[in-house]
Amino acid sequence: MSRSFVAVGATIAALLAGSPALANTYHVHVRGGGGPVGVVRGSGVVRGPIGVPGHVYVRGPGRVWVHRPYYGYRTYWNPYWYGYYYPVPVATVAYAETYAAPAGPPPPATVVARRPERDPNIGVGISGTAIRSGTDHPASEGLGALMRFRARPVEVELEVAWDRYGSDTDRTDTRLGGSLYVPIAGRALQPFLVVGAGMNFAHFGTTGDDLHQGYLNGGGGLALNFSRCFTIAADVRYMVREFFDDASLVEKQPLVLTPGVTPDKRDQAVAFRANAIFYF
């Protein structure tokens, strides 16, 4: 009877000789060399001579069915995922079955810390201003230099400017002031509100006097942000101005164009302003 089992095993081995079974890199071998013997199920390769004792090498967990003379078939279980020399002498391996290893955990995610790009917060620019205060008062035009500080969502501005009122009054002002800009909506095209205050240091060429005039203003405008670094804007502001000097000194100055009209220490004006700013 044992010879019949050996013959059956040899026949099956001959059928498998041309194409050994392979399985997901997990193998079962019979140490001792020789051609294929037995039947492979699932995954694995069984190699070794028929009837020659040896050791079964199982790579990966699986079961090995071994036929031993006079004892019949016996099943051996290998619990290890890695290479293991099975410690049982083998006469004939009937067939072996191994299992593919479960998919391992995904590699740990790699977190790359990227420093956020710095937003430009300081700006420098130029401004142009035109001031109109009614038909009885002379108009002025001026140029200025300014510095902006972004403090989201608002911006703070400091300005120094020079205004000239024309030859009729021969008045020139050095203007120092600050403004607060409050964006309303939008990013590229951005309307805003603005309030400001400052001081005019006025010099009158006809009298040679220097006067001091404070002002408050407020209004709104529209900014066009070409990028985070460059902006142009225009606004309109209503201004209230008042001289801090003595009234008798103010009345001597050519502040009005209509003869016989006594100038007042306080007046109102409308200022139109445009600027261009580069942020860094």
For every residue of 227-278, DSSP letters joined together read: SSSEEEEEEEEEEEEEE-S-HHHHHTS---SSTTPPP-SEEEEEEEEEEEEE
Q: Residue 20 pLDDT more than 50?
A: no
* Judgement on whether residues 92 and 149 belong to the same structural domain of the protein: no
151 part of a folded domain: yes
Give the pTM.
0.59
In the prediction, which pLDDT does 96 show? 44
* Judgement on whether residues 69 and 133 belong to the same structural domain of the protein: no
Would you place residue 118 in the very low, low, confident or very high pLDDT band (cuts 50, 70, 90)? confident
Preceding amide of 138 cis, omega within 30: no
107 part of a folded domain: no
**Comparing C-alpha atoms, which of 275, 232, 273, 276 is closest to residue 129?**
273
Residue 218 is part of which domain span?
Answer: 122-279
Interval 102-112 mean pLDDT: 67
116 part of a folded domain: no
* Judgement on whether residues 84 and 141 belong to the same structural domain of the protein: no
Interval 252-278 mean pLDDT: 92
Distance CA 227, CA 123 (A): 13
Burial class (CB in 10 A: 0-12, 13-18, 19+), 85: exposed
In the prediction, which pLDDT does 178 show? 97
Distance CA 225, CA 191 (A): 11
In the prediction, which pLDDT does 49 show? 42
**Count of the separate structural domains present in the chain:** 2
92 part of a folded domain: yes
Look at 196 and 92; give whichever has higher pLDDT: 196
The CA radius of gyration of the chain, in Å to the nearest whole number, is 48
Last residue within a domain, chosen from 66, 98, 130? 98
* Judgement on whether residues 7 and 50 belong to the same structural domain of the protein: yes
* Judgement on whether residues 87 and 134 belong to the same structural domain of the protein: no
* Judgement on whether residues 174 and 254 belong to the same structural domain of the protein: yes
Look at 62 and 231; give whichever has higher pLDDT: 231
Q: Which two tokens stand for residue 243?
A: 């001289």
* Judgement on whether residues 251 and 139 belong to the same structural domain of the protein: yes
- Which residue in the block uniquely carries the two structure tokens 């403004």? 179
Distance CA 229, CA 121 (A): 9
111 part of a folded domain: no
Interval 123-150 mean pLDDT: 94
In the prediction, which pLDDT does 261 show? 84
* Judgement on whether residues 52 and 92 belong to the same structural domain of the protein: yes
Q: Which two tokens stand for residue 195?
A: 């309030």
Instruction: Express each pLDDT in 36-81 by its tens digit.
Output: 333 333 334 344 444 444 444 544 555 555 544 444 545 555 555 4
Q: Residue 94 pLDDT more than 80?
A: no
CATH number at residue 248: 2.40.160.20
* Judgement on whether residues 155 and 274 belong to the same structural domain of the protein: yes
* Judgement on whether residues 178 and 251 belong to the same structural domain of the protein: yes
Q: Please enumerate, as own/partner, the contacts of 178-186 that have beta carbons within 8 Å and a separation of 24 or more.
A: 179/217, 180/154, 180/155, 180/156, 181/154, 181/155, 181/156, 181/157, 182/153, 182/154, 183/153, 183/154, 183/155, 183/223
60 part of a folded domain: yes
In the prediction, which pLDDT does 230 show? 96
Q: Are 270 and 238 in contact (CB under 8 A)?
A: yes
Interval 183-207 mean pLDDT: 95
* Judgement on whether residues 234 and 270 belong to the same structural domain of the protein: yes
Look at 230 and 3; give whichever has higher pLDDT: 230
Last residue within a domain, chosen from 82, 98, 114? 98
* Judgement on whether residues 140 and 11 belong to the same structural domain of the protein: no
104 part of a folded domain: no
In the prediction, which pLDDT does 74 show? 53
Which phi and psi (to 5°) does residue 66 adopt? -120, 130
Q: Residue 114 pLDDT more than 60?
A: yes
In the prediction, which pLDDT does 115 show? 72
Max CA distance (Å), the chain: 144
**Comparing C-alpha atoms, which of 114, 179, 124 is closest to residue 147?**
124
In the prediction, which pLDDT does 199 show? 98
149 part of a folded domain: yes
Q: Are 122 and 151 in contact (CB under 8 A)?
A: no
In the prediction, which pLDDT does 104 show? 65
Give strand pairing partners of 159: 146, 177
Mean pLDDT of the chain: 75
Look at 192 and 166; give whichever has higher pLDDT: 192
Burial class (CB in 10 A: 0-12, 13-18, 19+), 58: buried
In the prediction, which pLDDT does 191 show? 97
Distance CA 131, CA 235 (A): 12
Look at 101 and 140; give whichever has higher pLDDT: 140
